[in-house]
A and B are shown apart, each in its own frame.
Chain A
């Protein structure tokens, strides 16, 4: 299998919005939902929604990623929730 940082944007895109477990150097594991994979550094951005707590974000640097396993698929709702955390609301009314 191709090294994580050598994969194509198409391959990274398939992980977006999926619940994954990222294994990094030193056998550290990180779980969360993929918001994006930076095409420059191959860094993975994971979001975790915890009840009654602020959403937490983890960035795992691309050079340290050894493996990414998909645990569960996302839905339109999870994609919408993640986007609302980071992206500006494109539907906002700018003039009356």
Chain B
């Protein structure tokens, strides 16, 4: 998607050798696989989201889009009540934590 390309500026330049490209691609895929597995293990868990202005909310994690712009969550516990289904913009989130 265009958003994905915008968020993933390639550091591969045409002048670098093919070997270096391959090495960089391998590193990228290894780091990315680990991240995707983290998201997988987060699925269906109670996650605490630490947002701006020291706002903390809890919710059950569902999924993230590929470019990590939104998180889909269920039973979001907000100061105004529980929201059954919600999307959190990742730009509003500083960190999130859960237990394995």
Interface, chain A (partner B; CB < 8 A) = 6, 8-10, 12-13, 16, 24-26, 28, 30, 35-41, 43, 45, 53-64, 85-87
Contact = CB atoms under 8 A, between A and B. Distances in A.
A45 B95 CA distance: 10
B28 interface: yes
Chain A contact residues, majority secondary structure = mixed
Contacts of B95: 24, 28, 30, 58-61, 64
Given A9-B31, A30-B95, A64-B95, A40 B50 contact: no
A66 to B, nearest CB: 11
B19 interface: no
Contacts of A87: 34, 37
Contacts, number: 107
A39 B27 CA distance: 9
* Size bin of chain B's contact surface: 20 to 34
B99 A28 contact: no
B28 A39 contact: yes
Which 6 residue pairs of A and B lie closest in terms of their CB atoms, listed nearest first?
A36-B34, A41-B68, A38-B35, A9-B27, A54-B99, A86-B37
Interface string B3-14: 010011101000
B78 interface: no
Given A26-B54, A36-B35, A39-B31, A8 B94 contact: no
B41 interface: yes
A38 B32 contact: yes
A56 B42 CA distance: 11
Given A9-B27, A28-B94, A43-B68, A57 B8 contact: no
A2 to B, nearest CB: 11
A63 B52 CA distance: 12
Given A13-B27, A39-B35, A86-B40, 8 more contacts: A13-B30, A26-B52, A39-B8, A40-B7, A40-B68, A41-B7, A45-B38, A58-B97
